[in-house]
Structure 1
């Protein structure tokens, strides 16, 4: 039955892409690309793969960049019900080559610039067919010397068509999680749940295609019959420009986008058309949410999910917001339809009483009956709203005292000169671990001293939460999805 559902979803995506015809679908760098453009790119990939002797169920890998040919390739692979794995482009050529060696795909699709000597050599070792993408001239070509399928061995195809999506890499190297096509459909649906009523305006897509947010947002475009403006890299200026050009009704993104909009001092009138901000991909401080809503008059509907769940677990709806938005600003909302959520004791697995903190677990109907444990501390109130309190696996053990980085971050960003912050634990001979913080300042702000920032935390939190060092940086290291990179913060400790 599930394979049939996968086929149905893939057929739907294929038919809807074809249905655009000569109508525009994706704008990139000021140029609109039609349904025929996208279908032509994806069809050419399939044609070249067949000509090279690649079976229809053979594994495919795609080095993803937020560019039109890559979007067309991904939509086409979903529409063809092909399994494929995503490879980050934002890594060294040698690391990309190691990915190819690990994945052993029958076909590797990548931007022409990503076909470096190490990647070509890795594909040759594996017997992989190489396909290059570009927007200049012939958009899809076979890589010289990689035009015939080699002997392999190649990776075994999964039992069902699926997409191997990369986790965000916030706390360490990204991992791949297989998302079956029916689950991807659920993810696309969840990306559309809170859209404002009325004639839809284009979306602005900047989430990296390698992660679940980017995949869902992209597939949601043909799924809904919509249009999108694709940004290779996020910038406040481009976002605001598109709001004004198209009168966009909805915006979305992680907490960093809200901070950047406020930090840039975007005038209220520039966002006058926006009716809703739909956010997620990290905790949002209630004070920041309130400040954004008061500054722009735009309701913020936050959600919580993870790659493992292929979409949302908790969310705010417009009805919930109207009834409880002011009273429960710190909440991540209630469970999505088809999702059960509970809070358990991390040691015993027993559910904790209402109001107490524990580990969040969720059971998603589409994924099966099992409860999936997260690494997030959470609690539930008497009205069934859930609250997140930081990641259990990121807690800093300072001489027996647990310091949650999110708690220190939330305090640091209250300082008027601080736009964003990152906190990690560093080894300490006496205490085991101590907190280290890095902060990015609001543009034009008078830089506070390190001691001033420490005192700011000391005035608001227990003494064991005060970082032993606070470093001011021009820009915090971030992942492709704009989250502050924990590994990047760790790298700052020794510099």
Structure 2
């Protein structure tokens, strides 16, 4: 039961603490402001920001009015932001203002100016953006240029918060609630859009399978623009309910740990998407000290974070006697890492691995607490309630045999409350992902045993998962082709012990005598795409292994990359 005076949300770096009653009041005021601004049910509002109290306030206010929230990665550069604004048909966007603390993450004002002044391409979607709302920082009337309506968020919440109930009642559970851009193997990012029904039920049913029954304080250092945080963090706040805490706006492990101490967190959600950029590595040991002082009993992590925690605990000969449960998801989990937890943190005897995707709500399978040690360590569990999963032959589409490893391997398909409505304004891609019976084709190779436990073996797609961030090769390849000295280029994923995969670019130059360096190629990429998509490795080649029909043999390129770079393939037995 929600009690109005209980704490709902805490933002340490903003020095904000809100009870459920206060949060509801703030949401109502912002909803009233959005409605007065002229935004209506079905309109799209973007939020381009790091984690903050205003972010979750925007999420709930939009949901209340039936406005569709489009999440925008805070590290997007101009070409990426331009695509999101146009494809998403965003009418208003919330973002950091001048002098915001978030400027350590991105040069928001410069990126915005570049985007709004960019020439419109012939085949691009029109830009219908009208309102630009600053969530923090400074605002000046001089910012109002180019026919756009600039304002601080304080203007929108300066009202009594009285929203006509008929407006709220018009919102249907089946209405789209959120658009989240997710990478594929070809083309531009696809905007998976999901209904209110999907988001709320996935938060509730995932909490049930994980056993979230006691009062919970959940620390959320992963970015809100990811479905993991937006659903299992933000929506769980009121659906379960839980007390949500954010320590900072970017990856700062020390603040995360200190926040766990202060708020007696019993659960923590973390993500592999935290940037490992200059000046950030120095924070890499801060999260763990919070777990010690705070005596956290539960932690929700991704494989990258698990590796960080284990390495730090071993290096410093620390003990975490209170940590009893670890829930892992977001990227492949090497089985050896799962077993390593038991050796380093013996008290943590409840380790579970989940599976899902942005298109799947995001959670599809997980283990129960009473499942065996082997099931919890070496599978991604069984389907959530009201979710169907089947393994089919990728060619014939027939269901594979249960319990026979060789005959059981196939593509994982899922159907149920958790499946997206489709890809925003992209009927072709939607039909490719969802069949006529609403089964979502994951592109993941998996097996299932007689008891319904699923193992993820690999992927049928070429998508690279770097620390939980999805990267599709074609976007990077197309960028490389725009470099004046590049003749041809292909991108593959290569194994990495910490992030799971890294980006490796094969580049063929126009002039063999060119003096261009790997670093120059990487810097070119840094100026045009998000940091996590920038190739870690650049190999200059004279040609590519090709099929008779002229297609690149990327599996050969991957193997040769590993050999040239001296990389070892990750454990084949890994979970996602």
**TM score, norm. by length of structure 1:** 0.70
CA gap 1:302/1:83 in 2 versus in 1, 3 angstroms: same
Q: Distance in 1 between matches of 2:335 and 2:418?
A: 31
Q: Is 2:8–2:237's contact at 8 Å kept on the other side of the alignment? A: no
Q: Distance in 1 between matches of 2:37 and 2:115?
A: 19
Q: Is 2:198–2:361's contact at 8 Å kept on the other side of the alignment? A: yes
Residue 117 (structure 1) aligned with residue 113 (structure 2): yes
Of structures 1 and 2, the one with the larger relative CO (CA 8 A, separation 6+) is 2
For residue 23 of structure 1, report the CA deviation from its aligned partner. Answer: 3.6
What's the secondary structure of 1:468's corresponding residue? helix
Give the equivalent residue in structure 2 for 1:202.
217
Give the equivalent residue in structure 2 for 1:48.
33
Q: Distance in 2 between matches of 1:377 and 1:53?
A: 46
Q: Is 1:202–1:246's contact at 8 Å kept on the other side of the alignment? A: no
Counterpart selection for 1:319 from 370, 381, 406 = 370
Q: Is 1:166–1:212's contact at 8 Å kept on the other side of the alignment? A: no
Counterpart selection for 1:27 from 7, 11, 22 = 11
Could you give the per-residue CA deviations for residues 299-335 of structure 1, whole angstroms, max 9, x where no partner exists?
A: 3100111111113222111011xxx223673211111
Q: Is 1:340–1:362's contact at 8 Å kept on the other side of the alignment? A: yes
List aligned pairs for 1:72-471, cutoff 5 A.
72-113=57-98, 114-115=108-109, 116-119=112-115, 126=128, 128-134=130-136, 146-147=148-149, 160-167=175-182, 174-195=189-210, 199-216=214-231, 217-230=233-246, 231-237=248-254, 238=256, 239-265=287-313, 269=318, 271-297=320-346, 298=348, 299-320=350-371, 324-326=372-374, 329-354=377-402, 355=404, 356=407, 357-365=409-417, 367=419, 370-394=438-462, 409=495, 413=497, 421-422=501-502, 428-429=544-545, 432-433=553-554, 467-470=562-565
Q: Is 1:338–1:364's contact at 8 Å kept on the other side of the alignment? A: yes
What's the secondary structure of 1:319's corresponding residue? coil
For residue 347 of structure 1, report the CA deviation from its aligned partner. Answer: 0.7
Could you give the per-residue CA deviations for residues 73-132 of structure 1, whole angstroms, max 9, x where no partner exists?
A: 113222343222122221114532342233333322222253532456689963512211
CA gap 1:84/1:293 in 2 versus in 1, 3 angstroms: same
Q: Distance in 2 between matches of 1:112 and 1:40?
A: 24
Q: Distance in 2 between matches of 1:56 and 1:433?
A: 45
Could you give the per-residue CA deviations for residues 444-492 of structure 1, whole angstroms, max 9, x where no partner exists?
A: xxxxxxxxxxxxxxxxxxxx688232268xxxxxxxxxxx9xxxxxxxx
Q: Is 1:435–1:469's contact at 8 Å kept on the other side of the alignment? A: no
Q: Is 1:201–1:249's contact at 8 Å kept on the other side of the alignment? A: no
CA gap 1:275/1:179 in 2 versus in 1, 3 angstroms: same
Q: Distance in 1 between matches of 2:563 and 2:175?
A: 50
Please report the RMSD computed on the Cα atoms of aligned residues, expressed in angstroms. 3.9
**TM score, norm. by length of structure 2:** 0.61
Q: Is 1:334–1:385's contact at 8 Å kept on the other side of the alignment? A: yes
Consecutive unaligned residues of structure 2, counting only runs of 5 or more, are 99-107, 121-125, 152-170, 257-286, 422-436, 465-491, 507-542, 548-552, 568-575
Could you give the per-residue CA deviations for residues 254-273 of structure 1, whole angstroms, max 9, x where no partner exists?
A: 11111111232355755332
CA gap 1:173/1:31 in 2 versus in 1, 3 angstroms: farther
Consecutive unaligned residues of structure 1, counting only runs of 5 or more, are 1-11, 150-156, 397-404, 438-463, 473-483, 485-495
Q: Distance in 1 between matches of 2:438 and 2:363?
A: 17
What's the secondary structure of 2:332's corresponding residue? coil
Q: Is 2:446–2:455's contact at 8 Å kept on the other side of the alignment? A: yes
CA gap 1:99/1:74 in 2 versus in 1, 3 angstroms: same
Give the equivalent residue in structure 1 for 2:522.
none
CA gap 1:289/1:65 in 2 versus in 1, 3 angstroms: same
CA gap 1:88/1:328 in 2 versus in 1, 3 angstroms: closer
Q: Distance in 1 between matches of 2:556 and 2:502?
A: 10
Could you give the per-residue CA deviations for residues 171-210 of structure 1, whole angstroms, max 9, x where no partner exists?
A: 9854211110010012212442355677434211122211
Q: Is 1:131–1:143's contact at 8 Å kept on the other side of the alignment? A: no
CA gap 1:50/1:423 in 2 versus in 1, 3 angstroms: closer
Could you give the per-residue CA deviations for residues 415-440 of structure 1, whole angstroms, max 9, x where no partner exists?
A: xxx78554769573378345567xxx
CA gap 1:83/1:248 in 2 versus in 1, 3 angstroms: same
Q: Which moved more, 1:362-371 or 1:64-73?
A: 362-371
